[in-house]
Structure 1
Amino acid sequence: MPHLDDAYSLARWLTGDATDAEDVVQDACLRALSALDGAEVEHPRAWLLSITRNAAFTWLTKNRPRDLVLVGGAEDAEVQDGASSISEEASPEAALIEAADRRSVAAAIASLPIPFREALVMREINGLSYREIASATDAPIGTVMSRLARARALLIERLGRAPQ
Protein backbone atom coordinates (compact mmCIF):
# COMPACT_ATOMS: atom_id res chain seq x y z
CA MET A 1 0.00 0.00 0.00
CA PRO A 2 1.97 2.98 -1.26
CA HIS A 3 -0.41 5.52 0.33
CA LEU A 4 -0.59 3.98 3.80
CA ASP A 5 1.39 6.82 5.41
CA ASP A 6 -1.00 9.40 3.97
CA ALA A 7 -3.99 7.41 5.23
CA TYR A 8 -2.44 7.21 8.69
CA SER A 9 -1.65 10.93 8.71
CA LEU A 10 -5.23 11.84 7.80
CA ALA A 11 -6.65 9.42 10.36
CA ARG A 12 -4.32 10.78 13.04
CA TRP A 13 -5.46 14.34 12.39
CA LEU A 14 -9.13 13.38 12.34
CA THR A 15 -9.05 11.20 15.46
CA GLY A 16 -6.39 13.12 17.37
CA ASP A 17 -4.73 9.94 18.60
CA ALA A 18 -2.06 7.68 17.11
CA THR A 19 -3.57 4.44 18.41
CA ASP A 20 -7.06 5.34 17.24
CA ALA A 21 -5.62 6.29 13.85
CA GLU A 22 -4.05 2.85 13.54
CA ASP A 23 -7.47 1.26 14.17
CA VAL A 24 -9.07 3.52 11.57
CA VAL A 25 -6.41 2.78 8.95
CA GLN A 26 -6.71 -0.94 9.60
CA ASP A 27 -10.47 -0.73 9.05
CA ALA A 28 -9.95 1.44 5.95
CA CYS A 29 -7.50 -1.07 4.47
CA LEU A 30 -9.94 -3.91 5.03
CA ARG A 31 -12.68 -1.87 3.34
CA ALA A 32 -10.37 -1.00 0.43
CA LEU A 33 -9.29 -4.60 0.01
CA SER A 34 -12.86 -5.86 -0.10
CA ALA A 35 -13.80 -3.17 -2.65
CA LEU A 36 -10.85 -3.80 -4.97
CA ASP A 37 -12.47 -6.65 -6.90
CA GLY A 38 -15.24 -4.54 -8.41
CA ALA A 39 -13.63 -1.11 -8.36
CA GLU A 40 -12.01 0.82 -11.15
CA VAL A 41 -9.74 3.17 -9.27
CA GLU A 42 -8.67 6.21 -11.28
CA HIS A 43 -6.89 8.03 -8.44
CA PRO A 44 -5.75 5.42 -5.88
CA ARG A 45 -4.46 7.92 -3.33
CA ALA A 46 -7.68 9.95 -3.26
CA TRP A 47 -9.69 6.71 -3.24
CA LEU A 48 -7.85 5.35 -0.20
CA LEU A 49 -8.08 8.69 1.62
CA SER A 50 -11.80 8.80 0.94
CA ILE A 51 -12.18 5.35 2.47
CA THR A 52 -9.97 6.39 5.40
CA ARG A 53 -12.03 9.54 5.92
CA ASN A 54 -15.27 7.56 5.97
CA ALA A 55 -13.77 4.96 8.30
CA ALA A 56 -12.59 7.73 10.64
CA PHE A 57 -16.04 9.32 10.77
CA THR A 58 -17.63 5.94 11.43
CA TRP A 59 -15.11 5.24 14.18
CA LEU A 60 -15.60 8.70 15.72
CA THR A 61 -19.36 8.30 15.71
CA LYS A 62 -19.11 4.97 17.53
CA ASN A 63 -16.34 5.85 19.98
CA ARG A 64 -16.55 9.55 20.76
CA PRO A 65 -19.31 11.77 22.08
CA ARG A 66 -20.70 14.22 19.51
CA ASP A 67 -18.98 17.28 21.04
CA LEU A 68 -15.57 15.65 20.77
CA VAL A 69 -16.18 14.67 17.16
CA LEU A 70 -16.81 18.30 16.27
CA VAL A 71 -13.88 19.72 18.21
CA GLY A 72 -11.22 17.10 17.56
CA GLY A 73 -7.94 17.03 19.43
CA ALA A 74 -4.70 16.45 17.57
CA GLU A 75 -2.64 18.77 19.76
CA ASP A 76 -0.28 15.97 20.67
CA ALA A 77 -0.15 14.31 17.25
CA GLU A 78 3.53 15.12 16.70
CA VAL A 79 4.46 13.98 20.20
CA GLN A 80 2.43 10.77 19.93
CA ASP A 81 3.89 9.97 16.55
CA GLY A 82 7.40 10.46 17.89
CA ALA A 83 8.31 12.65 14.93
CA SER A 84 10.75 15.45 15.42
CA SER A 85 12.50 17.62 12.90
CA ILE A 86 14.60 19.57 15.38
CA SER A 87 18.18 19.63 14.26
CA GLU A 88 20.66 18.07 16.66
CA GLU A 89 22.91 21.09 16.13
CA ALA A 90 20.22 23.63 17.10
CA SER A 91 20.72 25.60 20.26
CA PRO A 92 18.48 24.72 23.19
CA GLU A 93 16.63 28.03 22.74
CA ALA A 94 16.03 27.41 19.03
CA ALA A 95 14.87 23.87 19.79
CA LEU A 96 12.37 25.15 22.38
CA ILE A 97 11.03 27.80 20.00
CA GLU A 98 10.66 25.27 17.17
CA ALA A 99 8.88 22.80 19.45
CA ALA A 100 6.54 25.53 20.73
CA ASP A 101 5.79 26.64 17.16
CA ARG A 102 5.05 23.06 16.12
CA ARG A 103 2.69 22.59 19.08
CA SER A 104 0.95 25.89 18.33
CA VAL A 105 0.39 24.97 14.69
CA ALA A 106 -0.81 21.47 15.62
CA ALA A 107 -3.21 22.91 18.20
CA ALA A 108 -4.50 25.49 15.71
CA ILE A 109 -5.10 22.80 13.08
CA ALA A 110 -6.78 20.55 15.64
CA SER A 111 -9.13 23.36 16.63
CA LEU A 112 -10.46 23.73 13.08
CA PRO A 113 -13.89 22.30 12.28
CA ILE A 114 -13.48 18.85 10.72
CA PRO A 115 -14.38 19.81 7.11
CA PHE A 116 -11.73 22.55 7.15
CA ARG A 117 -9.19 20.38 8.98
CA GLU A 118 -9.52 17.46 6.59
CA ALA A 119 -9.22 19.69 3.51
CA LEU A 120 -6.16 21.41 4.96
CA VAL A 121 -4.48 18.15 5.97
CA MET A 122 -5.16 16.55 2.59
CA ARG A 123 -3.75 19.58 0.74
CA GLU A 124 -0.89 20.82 2.91
CA ILE A 125 0.27 17.63 4.63
CA ASN A 126 -0.69 14.91 2.12
CA GLY A 127 -0.14 17.10 -0.96
CA LEU A 128 -3.36 16.17 -2.77
CA SER A 129 -4.62 18.33 -5.63
CA TYR A 130 -7.96 20.13 -5.35
CA ARG A 131 -9.47 17.57 -7.72
CA GLU A 132 -8.21 14.66 -5.57
CA ILE A 133 -9.57 16.28 -2.41
CA ALA A 134 -12.91 16.83 -4.13
CA SER A 135 -12.96 13.17 -5.11
CA ALA A 136 -11.96 11.98 -1.62
CA THR A 137 -14.52 14.15 0.18
CA ASP A 138 -17.24 13.89 -2.47
CA ALA A 139 -17.47 17.69 -2.57
CA PRO A 140 -17.34 20.08 -5.52
CA ILE A 141 -13.94 21.65 -6.26
CA GLY A 142 -15.36 25.08 -5.41
CA THR A 143 -16.31 23.80 -1.96
CA VAL A 144 -12.81 22.39 -1.48
CA MET A 145 -11.28 25.74 -2.46
CA SER A 146 -13.63 27.56 -0.10
CA ARG A 147 -12.85 25.20 2.78
CA LEU A 148 -9.11 25.62 2.22
CA ALA A 149 -9.40 29.41 2.12
CA ARG A 150 -11.47 29.46 5.30
CA ALA A 151 -9.14 26.97 7.03
CA ARG A 152 -6.11 29.10 6.16
CA ALA A 153 -7.87 32.26 7.34
CA LEU A 154 -8.79 30.61 10.63
CA LEU A 155 -5.20 29.41 11.09
CA ILE A 156 -3.87 32.92 10.50
CA GLU A 157 -6.41 34.26 12.97
CA ARG A 158 -5.55 31.66 15.61
CA LEU A 159 -1.80 31.87 15.19
CA GLY A 160 -1.70 35.63 14.70
CA ARG A 161 0.06 37.47 11.96
CA ALA A 162 3.83 37.62 11.89
CA PRO A 163 5.24 40.99 12.94
CA GLN A 164 5.96 43.20 9.94
Structure 2
Amino acid sequence: MAHFDAAYNLARWLARDEHDAEDVVQEACLRAYRFFGSFHGGNARAWLLAIVRNTYYTWLEKNRAQTLNVQYNEDTVAAVDYDMATTGDSVERLLHAEDTRRCVHRALEQIPAEFREVIVLRELEDLSYREIAEIADIPLGTVMSRLSRARKLLLHALQELDQES
Protein backbone atom coordinates (compact mmCIF):
# COMPACT_ATOMS: atom_id res chain seq x y z
CA MET A 1 0.00 0.00 0.00
CA ALA A 2 2.94 2.34 0.58
CA HIS A 3 3.65 2.36 -3.16
CA PHE A 4 0.06 2.55 -4.34
CA ASP A 5 0.35 6.21 -5.44
CA ALA A 6 3.42 5.44 -7.55
CA ALA A 7 1.63 2.44 -9.06
CA TYR A 8 -1.40 4.54 -9.96
CA ASN A 9 0.75 7.35 -11.33
CA LEU A 10 2.61 5.00 -13.67
CA ALA A 11 -0.63 3.31 -14.77
CA ARG A 12 -2.28 6.70 -15.35
CA TRP A 13 0.53 7.88 -17.59
CA LEU A 14 0.64 4.66 -19.52
CA ALA A 15 -3.12 4.22 -19.94
CA ARG A 16 -3.85 7.96 -20.30
CA ASP A 17 -7.19 7.48 -18.57
CA GLU A 18 -7.92 7.45 -14.85
CA HIS A 19 -10.54 4.71 -15.02
CA ASP A 20 -8.32 2.44 -17.10
CA ALA A 21 -5.44 3.18 -14.74
CA GLU A 22 -7.60 2.13 -11.79
CA ASP A 23 -8.39 -1.14 -13.57
CA VAL A 24 -4.72 -1.74 -14.33
CA VAL A 25 -3.64 -1.01 -10.75
CA GLN A 26 -6.37 -3.19 -9.33
CA GLU A 27 -5.32 -6.10 -11.54
CA ALA A 28 -1.65 -5.44 -10.73
CA CYS A 29 -2.36 -5.48 -6.99
CA LEU A 30 -4.21 -8.77 -7.37
CA ARG A 31 -1.25 -10.19 -9.27
CA ALA A 32 1.18 -8.87 -6.66
CA TYR A 33 -0.86 -10.47 -3.89
CA ARG A 34 -1.15 -13.74 -5.82
CA PHE A 35 2.59 -13.90 -6.52
CA PHE A 36 3.88 -12.36 -3.29
CA GLY A 37 5.60 -15.66 -2.51
CA SER A 38 7.90 -15.10 -5.50
CA PHE A 39 9.12 -11.78 -4.07
CA HIS A 40 12.49 -12.46 -2.46
CA GLY A 41 13.10 -9.10 -0.86
CA GLY A 42 14.77 -6.09 -2.42
CA ASN A 43 13.01 -3.04 -3.72
CA ALA A 44 9.26 -3.58 -3.23
CA ARG A 45 8.42 -0.38 -5.11
CA ALA A 46 10.32 -1.47 -8.22
CA TRP A 47 8.77 -4.95 -7.97
CA LEU A 48 5.24 -3.52 -7.81
CA LEU A 49 5.88 -1.01 -10.61
CA ALA A 50 7.19 -3.82 -12.82
CA ILE A 51 3.95 -5.69 -12.19
CA VAL A 52 1.94 -2.54 -13.02
CA ARG A 53 3.91 -2.08 -16.23
CA ASN A 54 3.46 -5.68 -17.31
CA THR A 55 -0.23 -5.60 -16.38
CA TYR A 56 -0.68 -2.46 -18.48
CA TYR A 57 0.85 -4.07 -21.55
CA THR A 58 -1.35 -7.15 -21.08
CA TRP A 59 -4.38 -4.86 -20.68
CA LEU A 60 -3.32 -2.88 -23.75
CA GLU A 61 -3.34 -5.97 -25.95
CA LYS A 62 -6.91 -6.71 -24.87
CA ASN A 63 -8.14 -3.11 -25.21
CA ARG A 64 -6.00 -1.61 -27.98
CA ALA A 65 -8.85 0.02 -29.95
CA GLN A 66 -10.24 1.78 -26.87
CA THR A 67 -6.88 3.32 -25.89
CA LEU A 68 -6.89 5.65 -28.89
CA ASN A 69 -9.64 7.75 -27.29
CA VAL A 70 -8.52 10.64 -25.09
CA GLN A 71 -11.19 12.05 -22.82
CA TYR A 72 -11.63 15.50 -21.38
CA ASN A 73 -11.26 15.46 -17.61
CA GLU A 74 -13.67 17.82 -15.85
CA ASP A 75 -12.07 17.02 -12.48
CA THR A 76 -8.99 19.02 -13.52
CA VAL A 77 -11.09 22.14 -14.05
CA ALA A 78 -12.85 21.62 -10.71
CA ALA A 79 -9.50 21.18 -8.96
CA VAL A 80 -8.23 24.47 -10.39
CA ASP A 81 -11.39 26.24 -9.21
CA TYR A 82 -10.94 24.78 -5.72
CA ASP A 83 -7.24 25.73 -5.59
CA MET A 84 -8.01 29.31 -6.57
CA ALA A 85 -10.73 29.57 -3.92
CA THR A 86 -8.63 28.09 -1.09
CA THR A 87 -5.19 29.61 -1.67
CA GLY A 88 -3.97 33.15 -1.63
CA ASP A 89 -2.29 32.77 -5.02
CA SER A 90 -3.18 35.14 -7.78
CA VAL A 91 -5.46 33.96 -10.54
CA GLU A 92 -2.81 34.70 -13.16
CA ARG A 93 -0.17 32.65 -11.37
CA LEU A 94 -2.52 29.70 -10.89
CA LEU A 95 -3.66 29.83 -14.50
CA HIS A 96 -0.07 29.97 -15.70
CA ALA A 97 0.90 26.99 -13.52
CA GLU A 98 -2.14 25.01 -14.70
CA ASP A 99 -1.42 25.91 -18.32
CA THR A 100 2.19 24.76 -17.93
CA ARG A 101 1.08 21.50 -16.28
CA ARG A 102 -1.49 20.93 -19.02
CA CYS A 103 1.09 21.54 -21.77
CA VAL A 104 3.55 19.11 -20.21
CA HIS A 105 0.79 16.50 -19.84
CA ARG A 106 -0.28 16.97 -23.46
CA ALA A 107 3.32 16.72 -24.62
CA LEU A 108 3.88 13.57 -22.55
CA GLU A 109 0.79 11.99 -24.06
CA GLN A 110 2.18 12.59 -27.55
CA ILE A 111 5.39 10.64 -27.10
CA PRO A 112 5.42 6.84 -27.55
CA ALA A 113 4.72 4.69 -24.46
CA GLU A 114 8.24 3.20 -24.26
CA PHE A 115 9.69 6.69 -23.91
CA ARG A 116 6.84 8.04 -21.78
CA GLU A 117 7.25 5.28 -19.21
CA VAL A 118 10.97 5.93 -18.62
CA ILE A 119 10.50 9.67 -18.29
CA VAL A 120 7.56 9.23 -15.89
CA LEU A 121 9.52 6.75 -13.79
CA ARG A 122 12.60 8.99 -13.69
CA GLU A 123 11.21 12.51 -13.51
CA LEU A 124 7.87 12.03 -11.77
CA GLU A 125 8.56 8.96 -9.63
CA ASP A 126 12.24 9.85 -9.04
CA LEU A 127 13.48 6.29 -9.59
CA SER A 128 17.10 5.48 -10.30
CA TYR A 129 18.23 4.23 -13.69
CA ARG A 130 18.84 0.82 -12.15
CA GLU A 131 15.30 0.68 -10.74
CA ILE A 132 13.85 1.68 -14.12
CA ALA A 133 15.91 -1.03 -15.82
CA GLU A 134 14.53 -3.57 -13.35
CA ILE A 135 10.93 -2.39 -13.80
CA ALA A 136 11.05 -2.21 -17.60
CA ASP A 137 13.20 -5.35 -17.86
CA ILE A 138 15.72 -3.62 -20.11
CA PRO A 139 19.49 -3.05 -19.85
CA LEU A 140 20.76 0.01 -17.98
CA GLY A 141 22.22 1.45 -21.19
CA THR A 142 18.83 1.20 -22.86
CA VAL A 143 17.29 3.13 -19.97
CA MET A 144 19.81 5.92 -20.44
CA SER A 145 19.34 6.09 -24.21
CA ARG A 146 15.53 5.94 -23.95
CA LEU A 147 15.54 8.64 -21.31
CA SER A 148 17.72 10.85 -23.48
CA ARG A 149 15.47 10.27 -26.46
CA ALA A 150 12.36 10.78 -24.32
CA ARG A 151 13.60 14.16 -23.13
CA LYS A 152 14.27 15.22 -26.73
CA LEU A 153 10.83 14.01 -27.84
CA LEU A 154 9.20 15.82 -24.92
CA LEU A 155 11.04 19.03 -25.75
CA HIS A 156 10.01 18.73 -29.40
CA ALA A 157 6.38 18.10 -28.43
CA LEU A 158 6.44 21.13 -26.11
CA GLN A 159 7.88 23.29 -28.88
CA GLU A 160 5.14 22.15 -31.25
CA LEU A 161 2.47 22.94 -28.67
CA ASP A 162 4.02 26.37 -28.15
CA GLN A 163 3.88 27.06 -31.91
CA GLU A 164 0.21 26.04 -32.01
CA SER A 165 -0.75 28.59 -29.37
The reply to whether TM is greater than 0.5 is yes
SS of residue in 1 equivalent to 2:138? coil
Contact 2:121–2:132 (Cα < 8 Å) also in 1: yes
Q: Do the aligned partners of residues 67 and 34 (structure 1) sit closer, same or farther apart at CA in structure 2, a change above 3 Å counting? A: closer
> Once the two structures are aligned, what percentage of the paired residues are identical?
47
Q: Do the aligned partners of residues 67 and 32 (structure 1) sit closer, same or farther apart at CA in structure 2, a change above 3 Å counting? A: closer
The structural deviation recorded for 1:160 is: 2.8
Q: Which structure has greater helix proportion?
A: 2
Contact 2:60–2:67 (Cα < 8 Å) also in 1: no
Distance 1:6 1:82 in 2: 20
Identify the residue that residue 112 of structure 2 maps to in structure 1.
Answer: 113
**Structure 2 unpaired stretches of 5+:** none
Q: TM-score, normalised by structure 1?
A: 0.85
Q: Do the aligned partners of residues 92 and 67 (structure 1) sit closer, same or farther apart at CA in structure 2, a change above 3 Å counting? A: closer
Identify the residue that residue 23 of structure 2 maps to in structure 1.
Answer: 23
**Aligned ranges for residues 44-83 of structure 1 at < 5 Å?**
44-65=44-65, 68=68, 73=70, 76=73, 79=76
Identify the residue that residue 2 of structure 1 maps to in structure 2.
Answer: 2
Distance 2:77 2:109 in 1: 14
Partner deviation per Cα, 1:110-142 (whole Å, 9 max, x = no partner): 111001000000111111100000000000010
Contact 2:15–2:56 (Cα < 8 Å) also in 1: yes
How many residues were matched structurally? Answer: 159
Identify the residue that residue 38 of structure 2 maps to in structure 1.
Answer: 38
- Root-mean-square deviation (Å): 2.9
Partner deviation per Cα, 1:16-67 (whole Å, 9 max, x = no partner): 1111111110100010111111331321111100000011111122123288
Contact 1:18–1:80 (Cα < 8 Å) also in 2: no
Distance 2:11 2:21 in 1: 5
Aligned residue type for 2:36: L
Aligned residue type for 2:8: Y
